[in-house]
Amino acid sequence: MGTAKTPVLWTTGAPGTGKSTTAWGLYRRIGEAGGNVAYVDIDQLGLIGPPPGGGDASHAIKAANLLRVLENLRGTAQLVVSGVVDPAKPYIESRDFDLTLVRLTCDRDELERRFLGRGSPAAALPDLFAVADAYDRAGFGEEMDTTGQRPEDTVEALFHRCAVEAGSVRPPDPGLPLPGPVTVVTGPTAVGKSTAAFSALRDLWERDLPVAYVDLAQLGFAHPAPDPALEAAHLSAVWRGYRDAGAKRLIVVAREFRPEHRRVFGAVTVVHFDADEPTLTERVRRRAEGESALLAGDELRGAPPGVRDRVAARAVAEAARMRRSGGDRVVLDTSGQEPAETAAALLAVLAQ
């Protein structure tokens, strides 16, 4: 008898249809029920630019990296994926996975309300409707109309189609160390790592430099967790994919860069962001009020004051512990800085 296929439930659809919200809700729901589950946002697997990372190559890069990551997760009781697909070729071609592709839709009035409600510009509405029309014409996957549904209703409807079983996955060895140059940006919660690193990344792209980017936290969604060995396997797999796609340099954002992560690379430069208590407290407040990109697992967006206070206290404690840990790294004190100042300081280190 052959090995059972690993089930994959993939939510896709035009921007604003709820694919990421639904997939994240499923991941949380399965984990809370005691299931062995992992979540992958395909958008996190195509952060490479300038071209060949952009344009028509983007779907191919994401799809290839997705297969690499799913291979690391083979045997997980349930995999959940979210993200846009290429309407011309929307499927995972692998005999190891049992794919259910769900194309979320809603009527145009509701799509417009959702799109604008998350802060997207009205000028982008024609492009949004064009994408929605293209998806409708292609007709791939199973259509699920979410018009009038609350996000939790959509999650509940799909939850009953998922496997909820205990277990864990032994990740593969990442293999031989990969070459760089690789820069890792570390620091406590809310210090501004992602904001500064992504700003620096876009600056490098504007200079036409082929650079890739990984937010390590976005590769670590697995239950039970955390698992630094699995994160390391994903990091290795995705960097191999980016190198195949033409990347010459990698920027990694990670709260902490553990020995398991370090073994993926031949050599790294670690840039550690520090900040004093007032700065960290203020940045937690800004995050809670929506002054940063919304990513899966964000514990601060819209958080009430009590939660903000607990996260700020934790961030201050993390900063103190990380200060004591030392190690071979460049330390940038970002106290009192605006995001643009911190990004400029990081770019100066990258230029060296």
Nearest to 317 by CA among 272, 270, 277: 277
Give me the mean pLDDT over the 15-32 stretch: 93
Give me the mean pLDDT over the 38-43 stretch: 94
Distance, CA of 348 to CA of 296 (rounded, Å)? 30
Burial of 125 (0-12, 13-18, 19+ CB in 10 A): middle
Residue ranges in 180-303 assigned as alpha helix (H): 193-206, 228-244, 259-262, 277-288
pLDDT at residue 270 is higher than 70: yes
Looking at residue 287, its pLDDT comes to 83
- Could you report the per-residue pLDDT of 67-99, keeping only the tens digit for each? 999 999 999 999 999 998 777 776 677 778 999
Q: Of 171 and 181, which is predicted with more confidence?
A: 181
pLDDT at residue 54 is higher than 70: no
Distance, CA of 56 to CA of 76 (rounded, Å)? 31
SS3 content of the chain, % helix, strand, coil (to 5): 45, 15, 40
pLDDT at residue 294 is higher than 70: no
Check: CB of residue 80 under 8 Å from CB of residue 27. Answer: yes
For residue 337, report the phi and psi dihedrals to the nearest 5 degrees.
-85, 150
Give me the mean pLDDT over the 33-51 stretch: 92
Give me the mean pLDDT over the 271-287 stretch: 92
Distance, CA of 38 to CA of 108 (rounded, Å)? 32
Check: CB of residue 265 under 8 Å from CB of residue 177. Answer: yes
- Could you report the per-residue pLDDT of 214-262, keeping only the tens digit for each? 999 999 999 987 789 999 999 999 999 999 999 999 999 999 999 999 9
Looking at residue 91, its pLDDT comes to 66
Distance, CA of 200 to CA of 34 (rounded, Å)? 40
Q: Write the DSSP symbol of residue 171.
A: P
Nearest to 199 by CA among 127, 273, 145, 104: 273
Find residue 331's DSSP bridge partners: 272
Looking at residue 1, its pLDDT comes to 43
Angle (nearest 5°) at CA 263 between 258 and 266: 125
* 3: amino acid identity, one letter: T
Residue 328's pLDDT band (cuts 50, 70, 90):
confident
Check: CB of residue 239 under 8 Å from CB of residue 212. Answer: yes
